[in-house]
Amino acid sequence: MITCPWCGTNYVEFQSNCGKCGGPLPIPPQPGVAREEPLLAPPPAPRPIADSFAWKLVFSDGWFIVGMVFAILGGTFSCVGLSLLLAVVTILVGIPFALLGFAFLVGGGAVIFWRYQKARTTVRVLQVGQAVRGEIVSVEQNYNVRVNQRHPWQIVYRFQANGQGYQGQVSTLNALDNAIQAGNAVYVLYLPDAPENNAIYPHP
């Protein structure tokens, strides 16, 4: 039985990516072959990961959800402010409402756009990124942020690319695998022409 690490869908036989969410599935160990270490290398690029998988990533991203909340508040405040402005009698009350709503809407929209572009880059890294061994530096929960009664995990990792050291970070609201612990080895995918664009594999 193979379980998708992204959405939990089970498969009897191996396939390269999940039919439900588009995420990459780990290569199962060969039966009867003793493995010296359980860390599995990513399959060679290009990896069949759907572009729509970016939405799966953003909806588990704490910043994206915060941006959505601000955008909804901004839309509500803007509608109330415009209604008060049209009533003329309450025009002095409507101006601050409309300005505050517009500021929230623009700020929330900017965060949403930023995180969606980041998710698209991550999908690109997962599709065609070059694999290298790295190490998890720290795994901590951010108790300053709370979304749907959950605190996001902050995973910091490091790796070497083109003779230079890099450090990456990923934030997720998903439950973490037991292998995601400080000091453990992890595979990192990165774009050869821009190693600052990277992600751990499989993405949590």
Per-residue pLDDT of 104-163, as tens digits, reads: 999 999 999 999 999 999 999 999 999 999 999 999 987 777 767 778 888 999 999 988
**Number of Cβ within a 10 Å radius of residue 20:** 13
Are 121 and 198 a contacting pair, CB within 8 Å?
A: no
Cut 0.85: pTM above it? no
Q: Is pLDDT above 90 for 62?
A: no
Q: Quick one: tokens of 149?
A: 């009664």
- Mean pLDDT is lowest, of 13-22, 127-136, 166-175, for 13-22
Mean pLDDT of the chain: 85
Report whether 197 contacts 121 (CB < 8 A): yes
pLDDT above 90 covers a percentage of the chain that reads 39
What SS3 state is found at 196?
strand
- Quick one: CA torsion of 23, 152, 178, 29, rounded to 10 degrees? 10
Q: Quick one: average pLDDT of 80-90? A: 80
Q: In what order do the strands lie in the sheet with 130-141?
A: 164-172, 153-161, 130-141, 185-191, 194-201
Give the model's pLDDT for residue 35: 42
